[in-house]
Amino acid sequence: MAERVEAVRFESGKLVLLDQTLLPSEKVFLQLDDVNDVWEAIKMLRVRGAPAIGGAAAYGLYLGVAGVPDEAGRDAFMARLREVRDYLASSRPTAVNLFWALDRLVGVADRNAGAEVPTLKALLLEEAHAIKAEDEAMCRAIGEHALTLMDGVQSVLTHCNAGSLATMGIGTALAPVYLAAEHGRSIHVFSDETRPLLQGARITTWELDQAGLPVTLIGDGMAATVMRQGRIQAVIVGTDRVAANGDVANKIGTYGVAILAKEHGIPFYVAAPSSTIDFDTPDGASIEIEERDPDELRRLGERQTAPPGIGVYNPAFDVTPAHLVSAIVTEKGVVEPPYETNLRKVVRGA
């Protein structure tokens, strides 16, 4: 297996991001040291995937306060910290990791009430590094747990991208594919193209091809036929937020794939870091769904594909009801229904 591409890292005082809007034609790494550029990178999907967004936001929050003078005093520093936190939180509304990571860093500063500004800066950067290291370990743990569900599975379907480019490790939904390869076993991936931004076509297939892993691209409308032909033994997707009842928000089109999997008797698994499980959100109806630029549907690159003024509905995500989800795979273990009780048991040990 070839070496995977690292999408998020911090080097020499700069946040280094793979610009995923340019894939697959260009492999460009952005070097950011300004919080405004980090906000733009999150908003414009240059970095995407809930864990990767959280990691980028954590480093972005540090960069946003790194320029506060050491002599400014704690009150001025904390005021700036909360201002930057709110600014970065405004970039995208659905991925809970964004808010989780930002609040985690603010919590570090709050708990160190007696620390001077230079110490607070160092603590924030240390916490951002910790989030990255934990994400790497989390991905491997999810992969190990998911593999226990993959006995006899030779091929899986995935939707959007929940691989290494969506995280700071080997991915969530694609983690068992990477780990299987490490053990000398091949799991073939069928990747939906994922309209309208084609994350499956542009990103998942590129990532797996770079890693030397087998992948086949299919159109979004082809999943039912591929399932009926018996080419897929399991579906596994990532998630941007899981509600307390097990409803799952993921890239638009996921709900339809879940319905198809149910119809064809194929298990539908969700790979979910515990940081994406939002116990404060009771169900999927309570999840705010981001709506994006209508031109994402009216155009394909520079080409107009619909009348310029035509009405467009362009939600970035949909919600898959819990009853369609066979299991939720976290770094702490596999969660099976009923999710209202079992999510808390596995994730919180309650």
Same domain, 113 and 212: no
Residue finishing a domain among 139, 167, 193? 139
pLDDT of residue 5: 84
Tell me the pLDDT band of 1, cut-offs 50, 70 and 90: low
User: Is 144 contained in some domain?
Assistant: no
- The span from the CA of 270 to the CA of 113, in Å, is 39
- The span from the CA of 268 to the CA of 270, in Å, is 7
Q: Which of 58, 59, 45, 52 is nearest to 6 (CA)?
A: 52
Contacts of 31 (CB under 8 A, 6+ apart): 14, 15, 16
Residue 307 preceded by cis peptide, ω within 30: no
pLDDT of residue 2: 59
Same domain, 130 and 177: no
User: Is 2 contained in some domain?
Assistant: no
Same domain, 205 and 234: yes
User: Is 1 contained in some domain?
Assistant: no
pLDDT of residue 348: 86
Same domain, 120 and 189: no
Tell me the pLDDT band of 60, cut-offs 50, 70 and 90: very high
- Segment 82-124, tens digit of pLDDT: 999 999 999 998 778 899 999 999 999 999 988 999 999 999 9
Select the more confidently predicted residue: 5 or 15: 15
Same domain, 126 and 50: yes
For every residue of 171-192, DSSP letters joined together read: -STTHHHHHHHHTT---EEEEE
Tell me the pLDDT band of 50, cut-offs 50, 70 and 90: confident
- CATH code for the domain of 23: 1.20.120.420
- Segment 193-203, tens digit of pLDDT: 999 999 999 99
Active-site residue 240, yes or no? yes
Same domain, 171 and 272: yes
Question: What is the pTM (predicted TM-score) of this model?
Answer: 0.91
Share of the chain above pLDDT 90, in %: 93
Residue 3 pLDDT exceeds 80: no
Which structure tokens are listed for 194? 């994922």
Catalytic: which of 135, 192, 240, 247?
A: 240
The b-or-e profile of 240-267 (16+ CB within 10 A means b, else e) is bbbbbbbbbbbbbbbbbbbebbbebebb
> What is the arithmetic mean of pLDDT over 261-285?
96
- The span from the CA of 217 to the CA of 143, in Å, is 22
- Segment 221-236, tens digit of pLDDT: 999 999 999 999 999 9
User: Is 94 contained in some domain?
Assistant: yes
- The span from the CA of 170 to the CA of 252, in Å, is 23
Q: Tell me the backbone φ, ψ of residue 299, rounded to 5 degrees.
A: -130, 155
Same domain, 285 and 320: yes
Query: What type of residue is 41?
Result: A
- CATH code for the domain of 332: 3.40.50.10470
pLDDT of residue 350: 54
pLDDT of residue 114: 87
Alpha-carbon distances, residue 148 vs 143, 145, 179, 300 (angstroms): 9, 6, 12, 40
User: Is 34 contained in some domain?
Assistant: yes
User: Is 103 contained in some domain?
Assistant: yes
Residue 180 pLDDT exceeds 70: yes
pLDDT of residue 94: 74
Alpha-carbon distances, residue 340 vs 244, 281, 289, 311, 331 (angstroms): 6, 12, 22, 38, 18
Question: Diameter of the chain by CA atoms?
Answer: 67
Same domain, 212 and 329: yes
User: Is 262 contained in some domain?
Assistant: yes
The total number of structural domains that make up the chain: 2
Locate all alpha helices (DSSP H) within the chain, ordered by sequence. Answer: 35-43, 50-66, 74-89, 96-111, 117-147, 175-182, 199, 205-210, 223-228, 254-263, 295-298, 339-343
Same domain, 221 and 344: yes
Same domain, 14 and 82: yes
User: Is 145 contained in some domain?
Assistant: no
- What is the domain extent for residue 224? 150-348
Q: What's the mean per-residue pLDDT of the chain?
A: 95
Tell me the pLDDT band of 183, cut-offs 50, 70 and 90: very high
Same domain, 130 and 218: no
Residue finishing a domain among 81, 109, 139? 139
> What is the arithmetic mean of pLDDT over 246-251?
97
Residue 208 pLDDT exceeds 90: yes
Residue finishing a domain among 77, 104, 139? 139
- Segment 322-350, tens digit of pLDDT: 999 999 999 999 999 999 999 999 998 85
Same domain, 48 and 169: no
